[in-house]
Structure 1
């Protein structure tokens, strides 16, 4: 292990970019820190002589001793894009522009799920938190206890935490998973976003924003329990330290023990997230963010055969709780931590600077016995082989194999931003210049059992566990390293009621892979991307917009000739309308998009190059997304959405794929959630919530041979403010949430001959106390 780490540190492409990033970080930090220190010193010196040092300097010549009457000015601090917001409607977001910009002024489709919204549904994962969001397919592989997965507009949705990327790769299971209780909100940015974030698939990204220290004291304790013997406790404490207004703290912690809907699979977690904010002056803020999380769980993502789930089987349907592994061997343990900060300093009314930094480490130990459907699915044609998944003619027993993975991943992310707010003539500018960097290093040790071992054959209709088998030996290793550095420029121009957004970016990306001491396989890429957008603000609150945006995403691997693959590229045209009705806390949006991606891998047509690919593929996604959110004075909170997504394979060397739909992408999706709380009368404080979720069927392969049926799910909630019963219980709230109330059995998706059940009915009761 140490030898691998030492050799990894000697990799030259990554180290070169790493050295540049370190120099940039240190230079920027020292420069901004020095200027901040000078300004603080100037303020202190001015205070000593009785002067006020503010952004706008004014001199007063006092010529007499007349005493003016005291005037009290009461103001309200403007809400920023990182401040807590009550209700379902959030008006500002950092994700769409990296500046403090109202959502209606960003020419791109964005959804924000505030903590009040996903807490009202008792979401236990980010997957569940975004379940009512348009353009998002989540939980593609069932109720996963390992990771969250997202599909946006037909493509993988990448994940971000506080604006910087949560790196991952196909070569590691050590991927950081975010605890929703520690999040203030979740922002879903749809469409190509490489201009602000660098390498990304064209569908968009999910940016999770952490809870931060608050100026107003806040305290919360919550207990939760219910289905699958779930017992969970959490605390959230925040406020000034010792009454000081320049030093704030927040402590979020959670612990739970739980089973799952799959036999022998637990879902236990320990989570703590301390954070601190230091405000030495009104112009400077430094927030330290951190968390530690330990998961002790298994693999609830069961690879069940297509015949016996979606398709019929003479033996009946496989139950949803069926476990295909070995109870005394299977498990997934993850330990992760992250430390970083968000720094901001405003030099004057024009110039400001920000720096976001995070280091994260994830270690995982993944052990499992998995089905072997090698003979049940033809990967060349993408079609199921009838009965081939079973080892007997009765279609009861399957082959299995054992695997063990020990992974370790380190991620370092850095984003430096300089902003200038100024006016030229009648045009207002919000100009942004940034340099960001990210480094990812993953190490894996793995081992496998032999395939087709008689002792691992399992009757899935009458499973017998505990047969002895030779455990996998960790005898294979792989190391992967990725680096990206990007430079971007953006200007948001306002003239009368017009808003134009223009952004450009250039990225340099390097990656290297080394397996079992073999020669290093390097890959170098660079790309230029840009984005333009135009909006118009009507007095009525209606804002139509148009935008064009681009993406690029490096592709790992080579052709038969050993030539590295080029990055995939994406382009999108989007028309939309955003409406914020005057006098109502509501936001309505509609987006129409047309998105294409080039350089998609497709099979090499040369018959002597079996198993190799070339980049001649192209795919297209187009559709419409509608969303409405409201928090009304009558006690009603609501969110509604509809999505129509038409995807197609437009170019491929595989004839059976042409004109087919992309994977995991339903053509239609819709959702509605209402939560009403009585405001007066005998039932004051009593709340009722209900929701509907609909998804059409989706395909698990590009040949469109495996399709899951559509489904409709019903959710419900009831809650009561106990403080309405007696003042001694002020701040206490009792709630019961029911997800999939009718206990409908459905399938999220199928691929490679395997299918995945969705979440069964879950009932959770909670008691929360705020003071």
Structure 2
């Protein structure tokens, strides 16, 4: 599970294994006194009323998130989005959106962007036909992502994750580095991996649709032993497809296997391996400005048009319940990733009067990146009740090492006639303009404390210190050692058993490159949450004021980083998820953001401008209705959704701006038999077309209409 070599710079595998083992033993050893003290205290004072442990799921504990209902409901009641201990969504003093596997399947979400596009405060698809990364922002900033509470990295520049691997996707709005570590103040996303169950289950499906899309997938598991102590799960997906533009490709191979061992009802150990392979194309190359061509027009180079991912991930998750309210958890993950892309794209600052000249300038752009990461976390959770006070105390430590080699290529490409494109071929003798090897080691300790008084008032405190050890070769930055302390304070008060008010202050810190000041943030937020007893639902309203400093932004044509001193976002989020009846579900969201760049004396003239790709208004609604079966006819479920994306600036200088647009989606599911369903999903059903990105050199349109049909068998 530890790192292998990376360009000759990493430590050898045995040495790295010893480091990881030593760290894990140290973390466990440092927590044993707390375990002993708690058990001794319980024995010595019989009058102390300790809170009973809540067992959630077979072999689970109060420190383990129960996702068993995620395939049956769109409304989640527990979340780990704010920290490493599961909390009641109603009394968590933060704005959280949980997208369950049921919602993901019902809406037919094929990508993370599609998963989160009905979430308040989230904008997606702002780079149009650029398919390299998961392009979405939370409250105006690209988020950090995590898997089972362990850091992956920023969505920008990362890997396109596979949603079929997860039971749920948890979206936290706002700053919170005390929860999982490094983050930006706009928010963060935690992916919760599918793990083996102590029962037999399964599904297999086949899909087909637009752009020669062909796909099959499976997800099944069972007990290996008769006493349910050992279980397995196997999940996979195979896709072969084109994209909406010529000379495109969108292929994927995904396989994930897991084993869970439960030697007792109080202990579980899970091992998960997954492989993600993608073979696609990065972009259509853009379209000339002030033209109105079809989406399938291609102005890149067929011979230099690739986007590949090869990632292997190994994860271990250990839980043990000591009894008397004390639990221990440790998680570790090793991943090795190789990615690369290369393409030609238009960059020609055409004006409306320049279209008589049909030749447009282009550039070649490419990248190759090899990354290895090992991350391990260990923490104890102690829960107790004293008279009218309930306490939850979590203390832990984390170690994360990330090594990467990154080469970038950029040079001029031959111009192309957009009225009669003749392709020139791949570049010859392309050499990198930058080659950077980076080593980053992060060590952290953290404390999370929840105090609940009289089952009404909850006080939540988070403290964390991160130590960053950074080293870069190939740049002038060299080395850096940085220590950063972040904190969070939240209050939640249950006005009634169904209605809670909350307020919070939270900070964030993100790791910089060597020689660069860390990106920091802070947020103030107040809100209300309503969860009726009559039916499953959660309605959240919040107002926030967040500030982000030392921001790295990317501007065309090279998308190299530039720094902005400070950006302030003030906004409102409204969101509702309701299962009104057994047959009617509704998801509704609205977000408002007042964005302002605060950089007095800036020579670029950004001061007082709006931050790029941040719409002032966003809204969405999704509703589904199930018509119960009658006789030979099975249940039929009809779904319809609408997404409004307000206008936003394409650049920080605010010289170019999009138009607002409304996009409609739909779904239909027919239950052929008890375990057999036929489903049709349509995205952008009216083929609405608008400019999602104008980088000053080309247009990139929003995704066009896609229709997918799926036949699914479950057991």
Please report the TM-score for the alignment, with normalisation by the length of structure 2: 0.89
Q: CA deviation at 1:164?
A: 1.1
Evaluate the alpha carbon distance shift between residue 498 and residue 330 of structure 1 in structure 2; reply closer, same or farther with a 3 A threshold.
same
- 2:458–2:492 contact (8 Å) kept in structure 1: yes
CA offsets 1:582-603 (integer angstroms, 9 cap, x no match): 1211111111111122344799
- 1:481–1:512 contact (8 Å) kept in structure 2: yes
Residue 461 of structure 2 corresponds to: 502
- 1:318–1:461 contact (8 Å) kept in structure 2: no
Larger Rg computed on CA atoms = 1
After the TM superposition, which residues 61-460 of structure 1 pair with which residues of structure 2 at under 5 Å, given as runs?
Answer: 81-85=65-69, 86-167=72-153, 175-300=158-283, 302-305=285-288, 307-308=289-290, 316-373=291-348, 376=349, 386=351, 394-449=356-411, 451=412, 456-460=414-418
Whether 1:657 aligns to 2:606 is yes
CA offsets 1:325-382 (integer angstroms, 9 cap, x no match): 2112221221111001111111122211111111111112322223344xx3xxxxxx
Evaluate the alpha carbon distance shift between residue 426 and residue 35 of structure 1 in structure 2; reply closer, same or farther with a 3 A threshold.
closer
Q: CA deviation at 1:651?
A: 2.9
After the TM superposition, which residues 308-707 of structure 1 pair with which residues of structure 2 at under 5 Å, given as runs?
Answer: 308=290, 316-373=291-348, 376=349, 386=351, 394-449=356-411, 451=412, 456-467=414-425, 470-473=428-431, 477-496=435-454, 497-515=456-474, 521-556=478-513, 564-600=515-551, 617-654=565-602, 656-681=605-630, 684-707=634-657
Q: CA deviation at 1:301?
A: 5.7
Q: Secondary structure in 2 aligned to 1:666?
A: coil
Partners of 2:355 and 2:676 lie apart in 1 by: 60
CA offsets 1:199-256 (integer angstroms, 9 cap, x no match): 2211111111111111231110100000000000001102211433111111001101
CA RMSD after TM alignment: 3.1
Residue 380 of structure 1 corresponds to: none
Evaluate the alpha carbon distance shift between residue 751 and residue 555 of structure 1 in structure 2; reply closer, same or farther with a 3 A threshold.
farther
Evaluate the alpha carbon distance shift between residue 303 and residue 522 of structure 1 in structure 2; reply closer, same or farther with a 3 A threshold.
farther
Evaluate the alpha carbon distance shift between residue 666 and residue 577 of structure 1 in structure 2; reply closer, same or farther with a 3 A threshold.
same
Q: CA deviation at 1:427?
A: 1.7
- 1:575–1:593 contact (8 Å) kept in structure 2: yes
Gaps of 5+ in 1: 39-54, 58-74, 309-315, 377-384, 558-563, 604-610, 724-729
CA offsets 1:71-111 (integer angstroms, 9 cap, x no match): xxxx9979962422211011111121311211112100100
Q: CA deviation at 1:396?
A: 2.2
Q: Secondary structure in 1 aligned to 2:160?
A: coil
Q: Secondary structure in 2 aligned to 1:300?
A: coil
Q: Would you say how many aligned residue pairs link Structure 1 and Structure 2?
A: 681
Partners of 1:599 and 1:298 lie apart in 2 by: 33
Q: CA deviation at 1:758?
A: 1.0
Between Structure 1 and Structure 2, the one with more strand by share is: 2
Q: CA deviation at 1:644?
A: 0.8
- 2:637–2:669 contact (8 Å) kept in structure 1: yes
Partners of 1:462 and 1:89 lie apart in 2 by: 52
Partners of 2:679 and 2:553 lie apart in 1 by: 51
Q: CA deviation at 1:423?
A: 3.1
Evaluate the alpha carbon distance shift between residue 505 and residue 275 of structure 1 in structure 2; reply closer, same or farther with a 3 A threshold.
same
Please report the TM-score for the alignment, with normalisation by the length of structure 1: 0.82
Gaps of 5+ in 2: 37-41, 45-55, 555-559
Partners of 2:436 and 2:553 lie apart in 1 by: 26
- 2:303–2:425 contact (8 Å) kept in structure 1: no
Shifted more, 617-626 versus 217-226: the winner is 617-626
Evaluate the alpha carbon distance shift between residue 612 and residue 319 of structure 1 in structure 2; reply closer, same or farther with a 3 A threshold.
closer
Partners of 2:643 and 2:629 lie apart in 1 by: 31
Evaluate the alpha carbon distance shift between residue 569 and residue 460 of structure 1 in structure 2; reply closer, same or farther with a 3 A threshold.
same
- 2:377–2:399 contact (8 Å) kept in structure 1: yes
Q: CA deviation at 1:490?
A: 1.2
- 1:403–1:472 contact (8 Å) kept in structure 2: no
Q: Secondary structure in 1 aligned to 2:467?
A: strand
Partners of 2:497 and 2:477 lie apart in 1 by: 60
Whether 1:750 aligns to 2:694 is yes
